[in-house]
Amino acid sequence: MASQDHVFSCEWVHITYEERSRFAETYGYSGTQGKVNLEGMLLRPTKGSSKTLIILMHPSSTLHLLPVPQAFARSGLHVLCAGSRYPKNDTALIMEKVVLDLGAYIRHAKESWGYEKIVLLGWSGGGSLSLFYQSQAETPTIIDTPAGDPVDIAGAGLIPADAVVFQSAHAGRALNLAEVIDPSVRDEANPDDRDVELDIYDPRNPNQPPYASEYVARYRAAQRARLRRITDWVKDTLEELKSRGTGELERGFVVHRTWADLRFLDPTLDPNDRAPGGRLLGDPETVNSGPIGLARFSTLRAWLSQWSPEDSRANGFVCAAAMTSPLLVIEGSADDGVPQPDSRRIFEAAGSQDKEMHVIKGATHYYANQPEQIAEATNIVRRWLEARQLL
């Protein structure tokens, strides 16, 4: 068992690197002065040193307040919770640029801080990001975004991590949206224009849980069709803007009703030990139209990069198949934040010869108030790293 009594410090981290963009994507200092500014939090035990750094990065969130990275630090591990250039606002997020942000942290950790081993721990939406990064660091190919804008990942000299941990994570933002978007919306400009038989929150809907397999197939097909309609409009609008040759280069838009997964109301679909009701973010019917629903606010370019299943390159299954580094997959049996099948499917898809998977009984998405499950996860990661001489 790993010791859990280390005192650790939380150190603010600032990383900056040069980048020139045609226009500013986000409000503020980052990107408007020819530089990208990144902020993170380094959790480091106050006694003892380490040559290994575990890096957690989510495309649009900050992770240092989560129970698990703090538990890792208390066990003696060095942990960096790295923020992208899009902290807590994914409206304009470009996944390819987040890969470059992660690469800047890894380079700084090795060249400035002196860490010899880097382990990526992909949590939630950070899981597919870690796989995306590692696949490109091992075999760099990307020179543009899905919208056709230049982004030189192939020439960035990304440093591969020594191992990847995929924990409490889904297979990709676009793939996740495809399973939670509300297919009942018929008019994107009018969220009140809905197909009752596809509105799972409407009591008039004759289809009620447990849902028949035919209804599940119809519902999933309607979700994909809605995404394709939005993507077609996005591509048409981008082409129209480009054809004008003016200074109008981008456009923001709202996507209504994006939190309506059948699994929220029917625990018999992809069953695990999760509590029924889909209340991870609150009442799902409220979240469906509220400000925190997935992809609620987006730009044209961001839609193609992070939300379109046909266009986003951050597809965990594809990226896992392309990487070769050691992979550890950890699934919580009561996780209500990511689809139950994703962890196993990522594990099976991975091209890594050295891969291992564990399921932690009763673990929820955030491990909130779950000290036993946190201790088990911490020990699994430590033992796995030690066995590969990565600690």
| pLDDT at 3 > cutoff 90 | no
Mean pLDDT of the chain: 95
Using alpha carbons, list the distances in angstroms from residue 140 to 21, 127, 144, 157, 346: 21, 19, 12, 8, 21
**What pLDDT band is residue 34 in, cutting at 50, 70 and 90?**
confident
Say what the pLDDT of residue 23 is: 83
Query: Please, what sign has the CA dihedral across residues 115, 118, 122, 127?
Result: positive
Assess whether 158 and 43 both reside in one domain. yes
Question: Residues 308, 136, 60, CA angle at the centre, nearest 5°?
Answer: 50
pLDDT score, position 2:
47
Question: Does 3 reside within a domain?
Answer: no
Beta strands in 188-238 (DSSP E): 190-194
User: Does 29 have pLDDT greater than 80?
Assistant: no
Q: 231 and 138, same structural domain?
A: no
Q: Are residues 324 and 382 in the same domain?
A: yes
> Using CA of residue 48, residue 54, residue 57, residue 62, what is the dihedral sign?
negative
The CATH number covering residue 160 comes to: 3.40.50.1820
Q: Which of 307, 327, 353 is the last residue of a domain?
A: 307
- CB–CB of 327/163 below 8 Å? yes
For residue 333, which phi and psi values (nearest 5 degrees)?
Answer: -70, -20
Query: Tell me: the pLDDT tens digits for 261-289?
Result: 999 999 999 999 999 999 999 999 999 99
Q: For residue 206, tell me if it sits in a domain.
A: yes
Do 164 and 203 lie in one domain? The reply is: no
Number of domains in the chain: 2
Query: Are the C-beta atoms of 63 and 123 separated by less than 8 Å?
Result: yes
In this structure, the answer to whether residues 60 and 77 fall within a common structural domain is yes
Q: Residue 377: what residue type?
A: A
Looking at the fold, whether 14 and 126 belong to one and the same domain comes out as: yes
The tokens of 311 are what? 């266009």
Same domain, 281 and 162: no
**Structure-block tokens of residue 14:** 């600032």
Domain membership of residue 1 (yes or no) is no
pLDDT mean over 369-376:
96
Q: State pLDDT tens for residues 330-345.
A: 999 999 999 999 999 9
Q: How far is CA 84 from CA 63, 78, 93, 204, 320, in A?
A: 11, 19, 9, 43, 22
Please state the pTM of the whole predicted model: 0.96
Judged against a pLDDT cut of 80, whether residue 32 lies above it is answered with no
201 within domain boundaries = yes
How far is 20 from 149, CA to CA, in rounded Å? 12
- Tell whether 141 and 204 lie within a shared domain: no
229 and 254: one domain? yes
Domain that residue 213 falls in: 176-307
If we measure between CA atoms, which residue out of 191, 227, 251 comes closest to residue 306? 227
- Residues ≥6 apart with Cβ < 8 Å to 212: none
CA distance 307 to 295: 7
CA distances for 285 relative to 14, 261, 281, 293, angstroms: 39, 10, 10, 10
Tell me the pLDDT band of 4, cut-offs 50, 70 and 90: low
pLDDT tens, residue by residue, 125-153: 999 999 999 999 999 999 999 999 999 99
Q: Which of 3, 165, 167 is nearest to 74 (CA)?
A: 3
Is residue 2 included in any domain, yes or no? no
Q: Looking at residues 359-363, what average pLDDT do you find? A: 98
Residue 46 has a pLDDT of: 92
Neighbours of 317 (CB within 10 A): 18
Tell me the percentage of the chain whose pLDDT exceeds 70: 98
Burial grade of 6 (CB within 10 A; 0-12, 13-18, 19 or more): middle
- Answer yes or no: is pLDDT of 364 > 90: yes
What is the greatest pairwise CA distance in the chain?
Answer: 64
Question: In a 3-state reduction of DSSP, which class is residue 122?
Answer: strand
Asked if residue 156 belongs to a domain, the reply is: yes
The 10s digit of each residue's pLDDT in 162-215 is: 999 999 999 999 999 999 999 999 999 999 999 999 999 999 999 999 999 999
Lowest mean pLDDT among 44-48, 208-212, 232-236: 44-48
Q: Give yes or no for a contact between 44 and 109, defined as CB atoms under 8 angstroms apart.
A: no
For the chain, what is the radius of gyration of the CA atoms? 21
Distance, CA of 387 to CA of 390 (rounded, Å): 8
Select from 281, 307, 333 the last residue of a domain: 307
Residues 299 and 322 in one domain: no
138 and 206 share a domain? no
374 falls within a domain? yes
When pLDDT is averaged across residues 356-364 and rounded to a whole number, the result is 98
pLDDT of residue 24: 81
**Which secondary structure element, helix H or strand E, spans residue 163, and what is its range?**
strand 163-169
Nearest to 302 by CA among 252, 255, 258: 252
Q: Are residues 128 and 45 in the same domain?
A: yes
Picking from 307, 324, 351, the residue at the C-terminal end of a domain is: 307
- 274 belongs to a structural domain: yes
Residue 282 Rama label (left phi>0; alpha psi -120 to 50; beta): left
